[in-house]
């Protein structure tokens, strides 16, 4: 059911009331719908959110993001209740890397450390040496003591690392984000021809041919900083990542234009359907009924915690 704007505001007020009543906090990723970002206590990229999850004093964390993000919050807060508005919201890239497939790679490269992008299941984190996000991947990989590194699961981010980090052999897992990988060099060319004055910022989850043609490659929070900076001399910028970032960009610097892939621009949307199946109604229901709690075995929490904690200590 789609809500009218008036109902929307009422629902937002009701969610805020429930938050106070239940001593809950709402964390939301930048790819969430604007009406959800509006009522969140904290909005960020996956690194910001993992950090924030360690500082929370509320009894309930309502996590508006995909499944692995809720799991990460639970691993960092085993004694708190972590709720997901929509437990089916998964990350297709995270699901590509099974524990068995990663163990096979470990057998092939016994001396290599496993660095896992935070976009992995809790199970995969239990067999990882350290985690990273796209915001701190370069820093983390530079600190790894081995020369060989198995990087799981994103081959886009692995490509970015192989260009940025010297003296390490990156062995990529063959995973990718199906949404970011839909964007092609041809599409980028069309946007560049339409907006020749606009610099291009892209997420490292995009394919190598897109990264190679960009002026800036960075995580969602890095894109946000770069594209809204007053030091960037441009009236408009082309941003190749999920459309959800448009709302925080506009909010942070409304004096610049942000061009995203959309059918209006002659290319398709870059849109994560999983992030968008979370709606305000689901946020309300999950908080009201305290349902869809993240539940992980104690042993998984303990082991996965080591690789996440190491990432936080190193970044
Ligand atoms: P960030 O680490 O930039 O938040 O990205 C997470 C993600 O899933 C992007 O698709
Ligand atoms: Fe996963 Fe891609 Fe969605 Fe990010 S945009 S959550 S990597 S499917």
Contact by Cβ (8 Å): 315, 48: no
Strand partners, 25: 61
Structure tokens at 124: 């995969």
Q: Rounded distance, CA 168 to CA 145, Å?
A: 10
Provide the sign of the torsion angle of the four alpha carbons 33, 34, 40, 41, taken in this order: positive
Please state the three-class secondary structure of 258-308 as a single string. Answer: EECCCHHHCCCCCCCHHHHCCCHHHHHHHHHHCCCECCCCHHHHHHHHHHH
Predicted confidence at residue 4, as pLDDT, reads: 56
- Cα 177 from chain centre: 11
Among 242, 243, 276, the mutation site with the greatest number of ligand 2 atoms within 8 A of its Cβ is 242
Predicted confidence at residue 6, as pLDDT, reads: 60
pTM: 0.94
Closest ligand 1 atom, CA of 66?
8
Write down the residue that tokens 């524990």 correspond to. 99
Is ligand 2 within 6 A of the CB of residue 272?
A: yes
**Taking the CA atoms of the chain, what radius of gyration do you get in angstroms?**
19
Contact by Cβ (8 Å): 235, 256: yes
Structure tokens at 196: 């020749």
Predicted confidence at residue 266, as pLDDT, reads: 84
Query: How many Cβ atoms are within 10 Å of 85's Cβ, its own excluded?
Result: 27
Predicted confidence at residue 226, as pLDDT, reads: 98
Specify the residue with its C-alpha closest to ligand 2, atom 2: 177
- pLDDT by position in tens, the chain (length 315): 555 556 788 999 999 999 999 999 999 999 999 999 999 999 999 989 989 989 999 999 999 999 999 999 999 999 999 999 999 999 999 999 999 999 999 999 999 999 999 999 999 999 999 999 999 999 999 999 999 999 999 999 999 999 999 999 999 999 999 999 999 999 999 999 999 999 999 999 999 999 999 999 999 999 999 999 999 999 999 999 999 999 999 999 999 999 999 998 888 889 999 999 999 999 999 999 999 999 999 999 999 999 999 999 998
Ligand 2 centroid distance, CA of 22 (Å):
30
Closest ligand 2 atom, CA of 29?
6
Q: Is 81 exposed, middle or buried (0-12, 13-18, 19+ CB in 10 A)?
A: middle
Closest ligand 2 atom, CA of 94?
1
Q: Rounded distance, CA 121 to CA 243, Å?
A: 24
Predicted confidence at residue 38, as pLDDT, reads: 96
Phi-psi region of 167 (alpha: psi -120 to 50; beta: other; left: phi over 0): left
Is ligand 2 within 6 A of the CB of residue 93?
A: yes
Is ligand 1 within 6 A of the CB of residue 307?
A: no
Q: Rounded distance, CA 270 to CA 79, Å?
A: 37
Can you list the domains of the chain with their CATH numbers? Answer: 5-89+275-295 (3.40.50.10800), 93-176+303-314 (3.40.50.10800), 180-271 (3.40.50.10800)
């Amino acid at each position: 059911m789609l809500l009218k704007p008036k109902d929307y505001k009422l629902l937002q007020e009701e969610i805020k009331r429930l938050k106070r009543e239940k001593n809950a906090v709402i964390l939301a990723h930048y790819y969430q719908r604007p009406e959800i970002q509006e009522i969140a206590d904290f909005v960020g990229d996956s690194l910001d959110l993992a950090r924030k999850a360690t500082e929370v004093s509320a009894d309930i964390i309502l996590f508006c993001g995909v499944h692995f993000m809720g799991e990460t919050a639970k691993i960092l807060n085993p004694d708190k209740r972590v709720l997901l508005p929509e437990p089916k919201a998964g990350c297709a890239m995270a699901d590509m890397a099974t524990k068995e497939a990663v163990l096979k790679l470990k057998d092939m490269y016994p001396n290599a450390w496993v660095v896992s992008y935070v976009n992995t299941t809790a199970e995969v984190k239990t067999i990882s040496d350290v985690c990273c996000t796209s915001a701190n991947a370069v820093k983390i990989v530079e600190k790894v003591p081995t020369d060989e590194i198995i990087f799981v699961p994103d081959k886009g981010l692995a490509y970015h690392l192989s260009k940025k980090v010297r003296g390490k052999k990156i062995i990529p897992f063959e995973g990718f984000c199906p949404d970011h990988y839909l964007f092609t060099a041809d599409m980028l060319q069309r946007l560049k021809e339409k907006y020749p004055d606009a610099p291009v910022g892209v997420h490292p989850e995009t394919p190598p041919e897109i990264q190679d043609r960009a002026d800036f490659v960075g995580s969602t929070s890095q894109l946000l900083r770069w594209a809204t900076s007053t030091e960037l001399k441009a009236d408009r910028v082309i941003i190749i990542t999920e459309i959800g970032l448009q709302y925080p960009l506009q909010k942070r610097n409304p004096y610049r234009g942000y061009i995203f892939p959309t059918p209006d621009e002659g290319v398709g949307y870059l849109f994560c359907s999983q992030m968008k199946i979370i709606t305000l109604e689901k946020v309300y229901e999950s908080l009201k009924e305290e349902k869809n709690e993240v539940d992980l075995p104690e042993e998984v929490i303990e082991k996965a915690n080591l690789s996440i904690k190491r990432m936080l200590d190193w970044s």
